[in-house]
Amino acid sequence: MSSQTALNLVIGVAVLALLISRQLRARPVRGNQRLVLVLVVIGLIEAVQYLQKLHSVSVAIAALAGSLVLAAVFGAARAATVRVWMQDGQPWAQGSLVTAALWVLALAAHLGYDYLVGQHKDIGSIGTATLVLYLAVSLGVQRLMVAFRAQRLVGQIQPAEIGDDAI
């Protein structure tokens, strides 16, 4: 394993630990996607640096596209495990141990996918080079789906249900 591959893996695992710890805490649902955008930028930088060293860029891009589809599927699956509720007139969300387990499973699936496509001589270790981008896409899909659920929940509350004493 090269030092760059090891560094990418360490960064990816650190990001994963951050994501899991944040999702196990109850937090208000906001439309803020700053973290996703930061991860996308870092992930794109890592991916571009990796792709610049390849001869078979089209094969690598196809492999990356498959990986990002996998990321979206895991994001959607995790979104279903997040509890969403109303508190003080605002939607809140909190992941569960199943959410955390799906994060770990998503990482394992990504690295397993990397192993399978890495058999092609030109794109070995594409998974570690694109790990942060994979996590960003997965988180982005999850957040969008949780935000959609929260918005539907907010829409179900009618002003008459809130009562005059809440004003």
Q: pLDDT tens per residue, the chain (167 residues)? A: 678 778 888 888 999 999 999 999 999 998 778 899 999 999 999 889 888 887 777 888 888 899 999 999 999 999 999 999 999 889 999 999 999 999 999 999 998 888 887 776 677 777 788 899 999 999 999 999 999 999 998 877 544 443 333 33
Residue 66 included in any domain: yes
- The pLDDT score that the predictor gives to residue 106 is 95
Residue 120 included in any domain: yes
Residue 58 included in any domain: yes
Nearest to 157 by CA among 96, 95, 99, 89: 89
Residue 88 included in any domain: yes
Kind of pairing, strands 27-28 and 83-87? Answer: unpaired
Residue 15: count of CB within 10 angstroms of its CB = 22
Residue 165 included in any domain: no
Decide: residue 86, CB within 10 A, 0-12 exposed, 13-18 middle, 19+ buried. Answer: middle
Residue 164 included in any domain: no
Question: What DSSP line would sit under 64-82, residue for residue?
Answer: HHHHHHHHHHHHHHHHTTS
Q: Strand 90-94's sheet: what is its strand order?
A: 27-28, 90-94, 83-87
The beta-carbon contacts of 149-154 under 8 Å, at least 24 apart in sequence, are 149/79, 149/82, 149/84, 150/29, 150/84, 150/91, 150/93, 151/91, 153/84, 153/85, 153/86, 153/91, 154/86, 154/91
Rounded to an integer, what distance in angstroms lies between the CA atom of residue 136 and that of residue 118? 21
Tell me which residue range forms the domain holding 35.
3-156
Residue 147 included in any domain: yes
Residue 35's contacts (CB-CB under 8 Å, 6 or more residues apart) are: 139
Residue 121 included in any domain: yes
- The pLDDT score that the predictor gives to residue 52 is 87
Domain count, the chain: 1
